[in-house]
Structure 1
Amino acid sequence: MRNKLVDIFKDKKILIVDDNEKTIQLIGDYLRSNGDFITSVAKNGREAIDRAEKNRPDLIIMDINMPIMDGLQVCDKLKSKESLKNVPVIFITAQDSIEDKVKALDGKGNDFITKPFYEEELILRLKLHLTYEESRRKMITYFEELNLLLQNTNRPIFCINEKGIILSPMSKESEKLLGINCEGQSIIKTLYKDLDSKKLEETIALIESISNIKKDDWEKIQGKFPTKISYKDKNENSLILDILYNPIWAFDDSILKIQLILN
């Protein structure tokens, strides 16, 4: 008995596009025996576009050579639509056609399998692309939520990189590091224009001096950082902010940057 795919693949919608009834039946059998997929079928390009528009699939398995409209033309039309442009497409190509294989990858397809194909190969490739697309969607959601948080939080967050340079979420440099896009003026200039600059400079100098620190040494070193910093509000009242430090680590466990959260 074959192992079922994990829950991430349950009820994923797979559109099979082929003008060959035997190929459709074979792929359908493979999918049914390897997971709880929801399958639909199109026997030509126009039907494929119509079905995809009405019920967005999670992945499309499509023959590259079909009458009326071939797989490359179908793929091009699907990818031109905003709602379908990220749907993975796996082309089915002829084994002896190098030209088809090149066209498959050059024509906006994500992958290809050659005839005759094996069940294990089809399922592994399908699993790979469904997993990638699921991860991509989760990442987009994560950064959208992070962006919303940064726009609405009353605890400004900014970063100081390993060179001791302040990276506000409003800056172009932090967009590259954090993957977010917050428009507007600098948090530091607008909300905390009267921060104790001397204290901030001392903090930056400390961070710069430990740019190569490893994760194991962080517990020992973080006690040297100031935990409070003064500022004035819009009414010129002197207030105190708590400083929280959140280190971001590189793959080799060396420090990449430090988030400062002013509370």
Structure 2
Amino acid sequence: MVSSSTARSTRILKPPASVVSDMDRNAVRRAWDEVAETYAARRDPDGSDAALVGDLLDSLSTPDSADPPRVLDVGCGDGARTLANLPPGSVGLDVSRRGLDLARETVPDARLVHGEMTALPVGDDRFDAITAYHAVFHVDRERHPDVYAEFARVLRPGGRLLMTLPGGRFETVRRGWMGGRMFFSAPGRERTLDQLRAAGFSDIETTTATDPLGSSTEFVFATLGPDRAADVSETESAETDTSDP
């Protein structure tokens, strides 16, 4: 199922600076609030990328495990695709309050947190794994190293990451996306893998699966080594709905 990383050609999308700059993080948050219901309605909760969660959980289980692994689902949205398939005690995080409202209906027993992935509102060494499906590329690519440093901070050493791997280098605002507009940004496939390694991740493997909207998408599995990135960038505080998980 899983293959080693291989180089791929990338396509550069470079819109006018004014087009991108008018969608700061607050604009992206508002955009997700506006499209959350449409996105949830159009997603297939049972695609092959949802099955990857089972592979992740299998990699975490050991004969001596008394408690289920604790997983943070970053960009959980309505919760149907990933959070609903995670063990009890897992936490869903999203920048969209409307998305979290939907998640409360889908996964009523889940712990939900409102915040940004550049400054995760959780303590150090809290989780055994992180899932981040179709999430990081809605953050400005200049901040992606901050995101991966935060992932490393909240994971326990040896913790696992499962996330979407963008195939190209792009920064654009898609108008008419789910009836609204949305910001997308990524530094390129190989650059993303380099950034994960710089944050302390190793044992990187990739696989391809069908995403929620029916397209073929690459995903990456990675393991946090004992040596984390030396410095975590100072980032803005994130709001939370609940106390520190």
- Larger relative strand fraction: 2
- Larger relative helix fraction: 1
When normalised by structure 2's length, the TM-score is 0.33
Higher RCO (CA < 8 A, seq sep 6+): 2
Looking at CA atoms only, which structure, 1 or 2, has the larger radius of gyration? 1
